Amino acid sequence: MADPIISVKHIVKIYKMGDVEVHALRGINLDIKQGEFSAIMGASGSGKSTFMNIIGCLDTPSSGEYLLDGVEVAKLNRDELAKLRNRKLGFVFQAFNLLPRTTALENVELPLLYSNNHSSSQRREKAMAALEAVGLADRSGHYSNQLSGGQQQRVAIARSLVNDPVVILADEPTGNLDTRTSVEVIEIFQKLNEKGITVVLVTHEPDIAQFSTRNIVFRDGKVSKIIEVENRKIAAEELPKIPLPMDELES
Amino acid sequence: MNVLNVLRVSYRSLGRNKLRSFLTMLGIIIGVAAVIAMLAIGQGASNAVKEQIAGLGTNVVIVFPFASTQGNVRFQAGETSRLTESDAVAIAAQCPAVKYVTPVVRVVTQIIAGTQNWRTSIMGVYPDFEQIRNWPVKSGDYFTSTDERTAAKVCVLGQTVADNLFGPGSIPLGATVQIRNLPFRVVGVLASKGQSSMGQDNDDIVIAPFSTVQQKLAGTIYANMLFASAISSPAVNTAVEEITQFLRIKHNLRSWEANDFTVRTQTEIASTADATTQTMTLLLASVAAISLVVGGIGIMNIMLVSVTERTREIGIRMAVGARGGDVLTQFLIEAVTLSLAGGLIGVILGVLTSRFVSSIQKWPVVISPESVGLAFFFAAIIGIFFGWYPARKAANLNPIEALRYE
């Protein structure tokens, strides 16, 4: 548990917009240990999304070092980054980002199509197992537009974990969901985290951050403070306290 | 990502947009169908012309009484024929490369049998006509050289003439027909040569002895043309030279005077006709090829729209581990699939169109496997060529921007 799964040293990211240089990240040093549930917080423009893109291997830093599960990422080319995303990372987005006109099962199978080492029956099996883990096995044949927001996000989580990643990165996963559904989704993340998967979550909402073990606060492209969460909330315990939408309407 | 998975992904996304996929294919379908139909019709026409020219006979040399056209000025324009029967007889005697010669005199007139009448052309020729034109009788006999000498009123009918005067399929041997109030005895019916590609009926003809037609029907001392045949195929050019030299001397032409006749060989006529049909085929095929290219541009257009429309999808695929190459292959396969499927449907449609044209126009069509292969091959090439740019564009998308794309 002691080895950092993500180790970032002096990460700087500069975007060039014409003649203007935008310093999105100004030297980040951060270690995230295996099995941690970190929440990255910060105002808009604080650099947290840029940071997520870099640790998500979607982007490379302008300078600095990044070790993901022992792999030096900063020097990799596009194809090698793609391979790393496929093998070691799972993504969950605010907008769910499921393929339209595609069934839940096919959406979950997607990363396996690109990993190239599964037969079609193995793919199906693994995708079904992932859907079961998020409680949607009975919706495998539904098209993404036939699912509710919460269900779509759970399909997206199933997709992120189907390749047995070492880290799941969630960028505002509850941003488009109501309170109750948000907690339901967080409950899934906590369950996965219990099984040993490292979770890194970006969120605006302090409430949601309370479900993590550690809050990392970004400001002006730097880590301004790191707070170890005391009295961490457990989603399974919180759920019964939140009224069902129907109750809210009736009371 | 292995090939099977790429195919699966491509076909799924094509299947999601069935109408659009079909409309995209339509350009290629029409292009390929047009190319195949045009080539088939052109090839058919060319074959028909060749057949018709082969039907002229073997090693045939034809002497026309007109001067050649040079620099758009026809020399001695409108001058009446100066070819005579004596020319023909002399050529036969003087030119060693020539085997048979017959003068030809032609009259177009009404021919009557009982209550029926028919307008046709009557050719006065020597009996050697049979060998020169390679045109035997179906039943009965040609007239003889005795008939020729005595200007006998005998004739050989073409099948069409026999059909129209005596009823379909009849063989009216021994019957009498009236040509310009003269009674002619029918001695034979020619074997059928069918229709020419120009729509002319080869069998709409009556053949009679030259002397008879010249003296009793045409009333001229000249011949309309001469038919000759060389002793062998390689001797055709020698025959042409001999005939030319001989006629120049016989017609007292000075060295600076142009020929007052034209000698043509079957090969020349064939190559002229062939060149004409080939030009037509090329013209039609190039118009069709243009539509194929337009179809290809249609594919490129749709694929470009598709890349823009699916930017987010591409972003998602890249986020879960699709490499640039995977995305490139997917889009390329979509484009090639569209053009190949379009090509396949186009081939079927082209073959059906050719058959249809053939049955409507009575035009022979020849669908060569080469033209089918060529059209199909070009459809595939067009798919790759016009699919490459959009696919490349998709593969080069930045995953972050693609994911953020609305």
Measured CB to CB, residues of chain A less than 8 Å from chain B are: 53, 56, 58-59, 78-79, 82-83, 85-87, 91, 93, 97-102, 106, 110-111, 113-116, 159, 163
Q: With an 8 Å Cβ cutoff, are B8 and A113 in contact? A: yes
For residue A221, tell me if it sits in a domain: yes
Q: Is B392 on the interface with A (CB under 8 A)?
A: no
Say what the pLDDT of residue B186 is.
93
Asked whether B65 and B82 are in contact (CB, 8 A), the reply is yes
* A53: nearest CB among B316, B318, B400: B400
Which two structure tokens, joined as six digits, stand for B87?
Answer: 């020319």
- Residue B192 confidence (pLDDT): 85
Which stretch of A150-154, B273-277, B333-337 has the lowest confidence by average pLDDT? B273-277
Q: Which of B315, B326, B400 sits opposite A114 (nearest CB)?
A: B326
Residue B374, classed as helix, strand or coil, is: helix
- Give me the total of CB pairs closer than 8 Å, taking one residue from chain A and one from chain B: 67
Which chain B residues touch A91 with a CB distance below 8 Å?
319-320
Does the beta-carbon distance from A110 to B8 stay under 8 Å?
no
Structural domain boundaries enclosing A44: 35-62+77-250
CATH (domain of A138): 3.40.50.300
A110-119, B73-82, B141-150, B175-184: which has the minimum mean pLDDT? Answer: B73-82
| A46 or B258, which is more confident | A46
Residue in chain B closest to A162 (alpha carbons) equals B320
The residues that bridge with B106 in the sheet, in sequence order, are B123
Q: Name residues 3-22 of chain B within 8 A of A (Cβ).
A: 5, 8-9, 12, 16
In-domain check, residue A142: yes
> What's the structural domain count of chain A?
1
Confidence band, pLDDT 50/70/90 cuts, at residue A245 = low
Of B385, B387, B248, B402, whose CA–CA distance to B320 is shortest? B402
| A209, part of any domain | yes
ipTM, 2 dp? 0.90
Query: What mean pLDDT do residues B122-138 have?
Result: 89
**A55 in a structural domain:** yes
Q: Is the pLDDT of residue B72 over 70?
A: no
Confidence at residue A13, expressed as pLDDT on a 0 to 100 scale: 92
Place of tokens 């009404």: B110
Residue B49 confidence (pLDDT) above 80: no
Taking an 8 Å cut-off on Cβ atoms, the answer to whether A85 and B321 are in contact is yes
Chain B hits for A102, Cβ within 8 Å: 12, 16
Partner-chain contact B321 A53, CB within 8 Å: no
Chain-chain contact of A93 with B403 (C-beta, under 8 angstroms)? yes
Q: Which residues of B touch A94 (CB under 8 A)?
A: none
Q: What pLDDT, on the 0 to 100 scale, is given for residue A1? A: 47
Question: Residue B31 pLDDT > 60, yes or no?
Answer: yes
Give how far B386 is from chain A: nearest CA, Å: 25
Min mean pLDDT across A1-10, B148-157, B303-312, B389-398 is at: A1-10
φ/ψ region of A221 (left if φ > 0, alpha if ψ in -120 to 50, else beta) reads left
Using the predicted structure, report yes or no on whether residue A88 has a pLDDT greater than 50: yes
The per-residue pLDDT for range A200-216, each reduced to its tens digit, is 999 988 889 999 999 99
Task: List, for residues B152-204, the tens digit of each pLDDT value.
Answer: 999 999 999 999 999 888 888 889 999 988 999 999 999 887 766 556 778 89
Count, residues in chain A: 251
Q: Do B318 and A102 touch (CB under 8 A)?
A: no
Answer whether residue A164 is part of any domain: yes
Smallest Cβ–Cβ distance between B320 and the set A53, A100, A111 belongs to: A111
The region of weakest confidence among A101-115, A146-160, B257-271 is: B257-271
Q: What's the gap between Cα A98 and its chain centre?
A: 14
First to last CA, chain A: 47
- Quick: pLDDT tens for B327-344: 998 889 888 888 889 999
Q: Is A149 inside any structural domain? A: yes
What is the band of B77 on the pLDDT scale with cuts at 50, 70, 90? very low
Q: Read off the pLDDT of residues A96-143 as tens digits, 9 standing for 90 and up.
A: 899 888 899 999 999 998 887 888 899 999 999 999 999 999 999 999
> Would you say residue B34 has pLDDT above 80?
yes
- The pLDDT of residue B98 is above 50: yes
The pLDDT confidence band at residue B266, using thresholds 50, 70 and 90, is confident
**Could you give the angle at the alpha carbon of A60 between the alpha carbons of A54 and A63, nearest 5°?**
105
CA angle at A179 for the pair A175 and A184, rounded to the nearest 5°: 90
Domain borders along chain B are 3-51+274-404, 66-260
The end-to-end CA distance of chain B, in Å, is 27
Q: Is B325 touching A (CB cutoff 8 A)?
A: yes
E runs forming strands in chain A: 4-17, 20-33, 37-42, 63-68, 71-72, 89-92, 167-171, 198-202, 214-219, 222-228
pLDDT at A159 over 50: yes
